[in-house]
C-alpha cells in the first residue's frame, strides 16, 4: 500500500499576549498537527521581530528581482506549505498592523500573484489551502448583524487569499471573548478539532 503523503502545514501567528485565546488556538492547532503526523512550521510574527513597514526600497527591490532577505525567508515558508493557518485577533474590524504588514511585504507581485499579457489575474499560490482563525471582543451576532463579518471575509478571503489563488478552507470568527467563560473558551478550542480533522487527514 502506498504511504500517505505528508501534508506541510504553516501556522502564521500574530498576538503579543502569550495568555490570549489566540495563543490557545495556536497551541491547539500545533497539537492537532503533531498528532496527525504531518509536517509543521510556525511563524510567530512578534517573536521573530518581523518588520511590517512596506518601504519604497521594498518596491524597488521587487521591481529588480532583489527580494529582501527577511521577505524571501517568509516566502520560502509559504511556498513550502500545502496548508496555511493564519491566527490573529480582530482589532478595529481588521487584522493587527503587524499581520497586515506581513501580507503587504510578503505577498508580492511575482510571488503571490501576477498579470498575464492580456491583463488577466494569475493566482500564483494555487493549490494551497488556508484556514483563518479570528477572535473578537464583541459578540459574534453584533458583528454579523451590522454586516461586518461579511465585509471582513470579503477583504481577506477574496481580496487577499483567493486573489492569490489560495482556497479558503475555513474562516472562523469567535466572538464575545471579553465576557466569555472558561467553558465557552474551551468550546471554541474544541471546534478546532472538527475543522482540522478533515484537513489534516
Express each pLDDT in 107-163 by its tens digit.
999 999 998 888 899 999 999 999 999 999 888 999 999 999 999 999 999 999 999
Query: What's the whole-number mean pLDDT along residues 89-115?
Result: 97
More confident residue, 189 or 35: 35
Task: Supply the pLDDT for residue 183.
Answer: 76
Task: Supply the pLDDT for residue 187.
Answer: 81
What would the grid cell of residue 185 be?
473558551
Question: b vs e for 99-129, b when ≥16 Cβ sit within 10 Å of the residue's Cβ?
Answer: bbbbbebbbbeebbbeeeeeeeeebbbeebb
Q: What is the DSSP letter of 165?
A: T
More confident residue, 187 or 124: 124
Task: Supply the pLDDT for residue 190.
Answer: 85
Task: Supply the pLDDT for residue 180.
Answer: 61
Tell me the sheet residues that pair with 39.
Answer: 8
Task: Supply the pLDDT for residue 2.
Answer: 59
Cite the beta strand spans of 70-138 per DSSP E: 83-89, 113-115, 121-123, 129-135
Q: How far apart are CA 197 and CA 145, in angstroms?
A: 30
pTM: 0.94
Range with lowest mean pLDDT among 28-32, 60-64, 147-151: 60-64
* Domains, the chain, ordered by start: 8-199 (3.40.50.360)
More confident residue, 201 or 125: 125
Query: Measuring CA to CA, which residue among 129, 157, 108, 133 is closest to residue 7?
Result: 129
- 187 Cβ contact list (under 8 Å, min separation 6): none
Beta strand 83-89 with 167-174: parallel, antiparallel or unpaired? Answer: unpaired
Query: What's the whole-number mean pLDDT along residues 164-171?
Result: 98
Work out the percent of the chain whose per-residue pLDDT is above 70: 96
Work out the percent of the chain whose per-residue pLDDT is above 90: 80
Amino acid at each position: 500500500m502506498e504511504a500517505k503523503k505528508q501534508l506541510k502545514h504553516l501556522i502564521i501567528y500574530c498576538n503579543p499576549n502569550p495568555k490570549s485565546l489566540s495563543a490557545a488556538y495556536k497551541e491547539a492547532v500545533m497539537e492537532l498537527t503533531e498528532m496527525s503526523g504531518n509536517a509543521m512550521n510556525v511563524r510567530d510574527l512578534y517573536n521573530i521581530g518581523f518588520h511590517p513597514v512596506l518601504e519604497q526600497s521594498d518596491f524597488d527591490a521587487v521591481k529588480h528581482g532583489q527580494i529582501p532577505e527577511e521577505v524571501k525567508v517568509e516566502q520560502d515558508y509559504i511556498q513550502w506549505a500545502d496548508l496555511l493557518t493564519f491566527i490573529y485577533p480582530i482589532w478595529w474590524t481588521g487584522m493587527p498592523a503587524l499581520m497586515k504588514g506581513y501580507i503587504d511585504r510578503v505577498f508580492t507581485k511575482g510571488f503571490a500573484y501576477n498579470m498575464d499579457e492580456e491583463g488577466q489575474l494569475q493566482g500564483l499560490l494555487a493549490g494551497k489551502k488556508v484556514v483563518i482563525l479570528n477572535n473578537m471582543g464583541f459578540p459574534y451576532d453584533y458583528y454579523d448583524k451590522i454586516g461586518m463579518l461579511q465585509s471582513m471575509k470579503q477583504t481577506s478571503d477574496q481580496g487577499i487569499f483567493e486573489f492569490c489563488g489560495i482556497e479558503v478552507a475555513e474562516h472562523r470568527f469567535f466572538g464575545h471573548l471579553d465576557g466569555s467563560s472558561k467553558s465557552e473558551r474551551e468550546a471554541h478550542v474544541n471546534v478546532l478539532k472538527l475543522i482540522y480533522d478533515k484537513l489534516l487527514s
